[in-house]
Amino acid sequence: MQDFSPNRRRLLGATAAGAAGLALPLWVRAADDFPSRPINFICPWPAGGTADASMRAICQVAGRVLKQPITVENKAGAAGMIGSQALAAAKADGYTIGQIPISVTRFSQLGSLKADPRKDFTYLARTSGQTFGIAVLPNSQFKSLKEMVAHAKANPGKVSYAHAGVGGATHVGMEEFALAAGIKFNAIAYKGGAPALQDTLSGQVDMLVDSSSWAPHVEAGKLRLLATWGEQRTPRFKDTPTLKELGFNVVVDAPNGIGAPAGLPADVEKKLRDAFRFAVNSDEFKAVAAKIDAPLMYLDGPDYRKYVQATYERETQLIERLKLKDLIEKG
Last residue of a domain, one of 252, 286, 311: 252
Rounded to an integer, the average pLDDT of 218-237 is 94
Same domain, 121 and 231: no
Q: Are 268 and 31 in contact (CB under 8 A)?
A: yes
Same domain, 155 and 231: yes
For 149, the domain range is 132-252
Query: Using DSSP, how many helices (H) and how many strands (E) does the chain show?
Result: 13, 11
Same domain, 136 and 248: yes
For residue 117, give the nearest of 317, 327, 307 by alpha carbon. 307
The contacts of residue 183 (CB under 8 Å, 6+ apart) are 149, 152, 153, 156, 159
Same domain, 248 and 142: yes
In this predicted model, which residue has the larger pLDDT, 212 or 23?
A: 212
Last residue of a domain, one of 222, 252, 282: 252
pLDDT for the residue 28: 43
Task: Judge whether 5 lies within some domain.
Answer: no
Helix (H, G, I), strand (E, B) or coil at 291: helix
Lowest mean pLDDT segment, chosen from 13-22, 60-69, 198-207, 286-295 = 13-22
Task: Judge whether 321 lies within some domain.
Answer: yes
Residue type, 36: S
The C-alpha R_g of the chain, in whole angstroms, comes to 23
Check pLDDT > 60 for residue 25.
no
Rounded to an integer, the average pLDDT of 311-321 is 89
Helix (H, G, I), strand (E, B) or coil at 134: strand
Same domain, 291 and 309: yes
Lowest mean pLDDT segment, chosen from 28-42, 200-214, 240-254, 282-296 = 28-42
Alpha carbon distance 27, 212 (integer Å):
43
Same domain, 154 and 248: yes
Q: What CATH number corresponds to the domain at position 200?
A: 3.40.190.10
Same domain, 99 and 79: yes
Task: Judge whether 258 lies within some domain.
Answer: yes
Last residue of a domain, one of 198, 228, 252: 252
Task: Judge whether 14 lies within some domain.
Answer: no
pLDDT for the residue 261: 98
Same domain, 121 and 170: no
In angstroms, the Cα distances linking 317 to 44, 119, 270, 276 are: 25, 20, 34, 32
Task: Judge whether 90 lies within some domain.
Answer: yes
Task: Judge whether 11 lies within some domain.
Answer: no
Task: Judge whether 203 lies within some domain.
Answer: yes
Alpha carbon distance 329, 317 (integer Å):
18
Q: Which of 162-166, 192-196, 249-253, 269-273 has the highest mean pLDDT?
A: 269-273
Alpha carbon distance 315, 6 (integer Å):
60
pLDDT for the residue 32: 66
Same domain, 98 and 239: no
pLDDT for the residue 235: 86
Same domain, 141 and 244: yes
Domain count, the chain: 2
Alpha carbon distance 300, 246 (integer Å):
34
Same domain, 82 and 141: no
How far is it between the farthest Cα atoms of the chain? 100
Task: Judge whether 16 lies within some domain.
Answer: no
Q: What CATH number corresponds to the domain at position 278?
A: 3.40.190.150
Same domain, 171 and 235: yes
Check pLDDT > 50 for residue 11.
no
